[in-house]
Amino acid sequence: MASSQIIRRASRLLHSGGVIAYPTEGVFGLGCLPNNATAVYKILEMKGRDVSKGLILIASDARQLDDWIDLGDADIPSTESNPTTWIVPATDAAPSWIRGAHETVAVRLTTHPIARALCEEAASCIVSTSANLSGHPPARNATVLRRQFGPLVDYVVPGQCGPARGASEIRDIRTNRIVRPA
């Protein structure tokens, strides 16, 4: 687990508009605060990713997602053993740089201790897109991450990915249909 000093530093960078890289359940993520359009577009440019695809938000608590998603009376299912990202209806406040060309937002309640600590310290959900160039395999360790993105990110939070062996499964919360297998 990253020290509290490391987590505080990363949170300060997020709040100042920075882009960080950090370990998640399966791969390293690139992240920023989702309401900072400049930081989001920097990530999209770094990856070569089209804004129309949308981005994933991770949170340590469902309340961090209240401004972004409309669950109605539903809850985000717990996926402790199998990290799952859920496609959920977006609120009107969710900007296009997060939703992409969709009326939904992809969200995950992260179980990774470092990613959870980042969300808690930042008191916010954060963008979490895999650290890879669009169409290439994501970084699962800091060496690969630094090779691809080292000079482009403001900070690399040290730590290990896991327990998953790759990107999370994505499911539609309304139908439970698998959009992307794990």
In order of 82, 95, 110, the CA distances from 77 in angstroms are 11, 24, 12
C-beta of residue 65 within 8 angstroms of C-beta of residue 107: yes
Residue 15, number of CB atoms within 10 A of its CB: 14
pLDDT at residue 182, rounded to an integer: 75
Reported confidence tier of residue 169, pLDDT bands at 50, 70, 90 = confident
Q: Which domains does the chain have, with CATH numbers?
A: 4-180 (3.90.870.10)
The region of weakest confidence among 13-22, 33-42, 78-87, 119-128 is: 78-87
| Residue 132 scores a pLDDT above 70 | yes
- SS3 of 66, please? coil
Residue 133 binned pLDDT confidence (cut-offs 50, 70, 90): confident
Which of 128, 81, 104, 115 lies closest to 179, judged by CA?
104
pTM: 0.93
pLDDT in tens, 42-67: 999 999 999 999 999 999 999 999 99
- Cβ count near 172 (within 10 Å): 14
